[in-house]
Amino acid sequence: MRASSLVEHCATVVAVVLLAAAAAAAAARTKDECHSGDKAALLAIKSAFGNASYFNSWTPDTPCCEWANVSCDGSASPYTARRVVGVSLVNDASLAGPLPGAAIARLTALQQLVLNYVPGVNGSIPRDLTRLNATLSFLDIISTGISGPVPSFLSEITALSYLSLSSNKLTGSIPASLADMPNLYFLDLGYNRLTGTIPPQLLRKGSYLYLSHNKLTGSVPAEFAAVNFWTIDLSYNGFKGDASFLLGANKPLLNLDLSHNAFSFNLSGVQLPEGLNSLELSHNEIYGDIPEMVVDMMLNYLNVSYNRLSGVVPAGGNMAWFDQSCFQHNKGLCGSPLPPCKQ
Ligand SMILES: *[C@@H]1O[C@H](CO)[C@@H](O)[C@H](O)[C@H]1NC(C)=O
Ligand SMILES: *[C@@H]1O[C@H](CO)[C@@H](O)[C@H](O)[C@H]1NC(C)=O
Ligand SMILES: *[C@@H]1O[C@H](CO)[C@@H](O)[C@H](O)[C@H]1NC(C)=O
Ligand SMILES: *[C@@H]1O[C@H](CO)[C@@H](O)[C@H](O)[C@H]1NC(C)=O
Ligand SMILES: *[C@@H]1O[C@H](CO)[C@@H](O)[C@H](O)[C@H]1NC(C)=O
Ligand SMILES: *[C@@H]1O[C@H](CO)[C@@H](O)[C@H](O)[C@H]1NC(C)=O
């Protein structure tokens, strides 16, 4: 080989190697690159928050599936771009301003949106989120500065199965439209400033319901007797009336918290669900006796203090775990761990 051709040959090899390396790098980039519309939407979200430092990894020249707090689906094929399915804005007190609904709605494959402890994010819940009606199944807006109502348009997001709007500044009543959501099984509206009553058909199938620490009133809808709840927390509201139908021998109920309300019913004849784990009834106007069957259950928590119960505290089983604070301030309860009954 002549010297010049050797040089040419080497140059070709180097070029091929370089091209291969470049292609591999491009492939790696493409692998983590998301749909261009999703990338533009994410950059619009970043810009809406004034390009806050939270979004430092969200830069146009890097693949967006690698950006912090962004998740993508697996790519369907080497030729289709990955879609952004999750975005979370968490633990940042410096993020401020309204939720950029229009930009978020441009993430047309979004399944999970999580805001948790971003107290500077304020304004109301934007209607644009309803454009994600077919994809958004998990929505957390927790510990933010968001105010205004629980919008009735949330029911248009038919894909939604998990909705937590706890610890915000939401006011007004619970919209009856939420009862129309076909996939909703988890609803947490706790720690807001909600008023009014619980819509009768709020949840209709197996469900978790958290409404604690609001200003809700009225009684528990009789329709709830037919719903298979796993957890119900209605504590710290202004509810009254009978809620004993939430209990019942064959229910799947695991946790019930009715504490700090004005519920008033006779506990004596109530059948407790077999699998019940925790029963918090303190600070109500509940009367009658503690059902003897508590001794046969695997309760991990029981508190019936500050009611109008009477009779002997049942003894045996897990009952030994519960100290007098769980039974104090009742009308006529007696027996260990309370003082002995008078003959
Ligand atoms: C955020 O950065 C982008 C790109 O540098 C810029 O076009 C946009 O105007 C910035 N937005 C704000 C609100 O500063
Ligand atoms: C957000 O991104 C940061 C930085 O990568 C990470 O430490 C944090 O765990 C992420 N949080 C969530 C909820 O994705
Ligand atoms: C949101 O917070 C900003 C300050 O960060 C304030 O200027 C603005 O009025 C607030 N908006 C609402 C709707 O509370
Ligand atoms: C989402 O909303 C659009 C426009 O209102 C509607 O055409 C579509 O059927 C809805 N999809 C689902 C799954 O609800
Ligand atoms: C509570 O119900 C029991 C029967 O389950 C009954 O014997 C008792 O009189 C009732 N107590 C009150 C105050 O109505
Ligand atoms: C039971 O509830 C009362 C009243 O809220 C409270 O003072 C007490 O600490 C509770 N007991 C336990 C063990 O949580």
**Domain positions in the chain:** 30-123
Q: What is the reported pLDDT for 336?
A: 94
Percent of the chain with pLDDT over 70: 91
Atom of ligand 1 nearest to the CA of 51: 1
Amino acid at 144: T
Atom of ligand 4 nearest to the CA of 157: 14
Can you list the alpha helix ranges (DSSP code H) found in the chain?
3-31, 36-48, 101-105
Ligand 4 centroid, distance to 155 Cα (angstroms): 12
Residue closest to 147 by CA, chosen among 193, 101, 104, 115? 193
Q: Which residues line ligand 3 (CB under 6 A)?
A: 96, 120, 122-123
- The torsion region of residue 129 among left (phi > 0), alpha (psi -120 to 50) and beta comes to alpha
Least confident of 66-80, 127-141, 187-201, 270-284: 66-80
* Cα separation, 119 vs 111, whole angstroms: 23
Token code pair at residue 202? 């709020």
* Ligand 2 binding pocket mutation candidate from 90, 112, 140, 143 (most atoms within 8 A of CB): 90
Token code pair at residue 165? 């709007």
* Cα separation, 303 vs 309, whole angstroms: 12
Q: What is the reported pLDDT for 6?
A: 45
Ligand 4 centroid, distance to 30 Cα (angstroms): 31
Atom 13 (ligand 4): residue with closest C-alpha? 134
Which residues on neighbouring strands pair with residue 46, listed in sequence order? none
Q: If pLDDT is split at 50, 70 and 90, which confidence band does 27 have?
A: low
Tell me the mean pLDDT in the region 36-57.
97
Using DSSP's 3-state secondary structure scheme, residue 322 falls into coil
Q: Tokens 């978020």 belong to which residue?
A: 104
Q: If pLDDT is split at 50, 70 and 90, which confidence band does 1 have?
A: very low
Tell me the mean pLDDT in the region 318-335.
95
* Cα separation, 189 vs 184, whole angstroms: 13
* Cα separation, 142 vs 145, whole angstroms: 9
Q: What is the reported pLDDT for 76?
A: 64
Q: Are 244 and 267 in contact (CB under 8 A)?
A: yes
- pLDDT surpassing 70 at residue 261: yes
Tell me the mean pLDDT in the region 12-33.
54
Atom 1 (ligand 4): residue with closest C-alpha? 133
The finding on whether 108 has its CB within 6 A of some atom of ligand 4 is no
Atom 2 (ligand 5): residue with closest C-alpha? 268
- pLDDT surpassing 80 at residue 44: yes
Q: What is the reported pLDDT for 32?
A: 82
Burial, 78: exposed, middle or buried (Cβ in 10 Å; 0-12, 13-18, 19+)? exposed
- The 10 Å Cβ neighbour count of residue 168 is 26
DSSP 169-203: EEEEPPPGGGGG-TT--EEE--SSEE-S---TTS-
Model pTM score? 0.90
Atom 3 (ligand 2): residue with closest C-alpha? 68
The finding on whether 266 has its CB within 6 A of some atom of ligand 5 is yes
Which residues on neighbouring strands pair with residue 163, listed in sequence order? 139, 187
Q: What is the reported pLDDT for 79?
A: 73
Ligand 2 centroid, distance to 15 Cα (angstroms): 40
- pLDDT surpassing 90 at residue 22: no
Q: Are 149 and 175 in contact (CB under 8 A)?
A: yes
pLDDT, tens digit, for every residue of 169-213? 999 999 999 998 999 999 999 999 999 999 998 988 879 999 999
Q: What is the reported pLDDT for 53?
A: 97
Q: What is the reported pLDDT for 50?
A: 97
Q: What is the reported pLDDT for 29?
A: 52
Q: If pLDDT is split at 50, 70 and 90, which confidence band does 264 have?
A: very high
Residue closest to 132 by CA, chosen among 93, 99, 174, 176? 99
Report the side by side order of strands in the sheet with 287-288.
287-288, 308-312, 332-334
Q: Go through the chain and tell me how many residues it has.
A: 343
* Cα separation, 317 vs 13, whole angstroms: 80
Amino acid at 27: A
Summary mean pLDDT of the chain? 92
DSSP 221-279: -GGGGGS-EEEEE--SSEEEE--GGG--TT----EEE--SSEE--B-TTPPPPTT--EE
pLDDT, tens digit, for every residue of 156-173? 999 999 999 999 999 999
- pLDDT surpassing 80 at residue 9: no
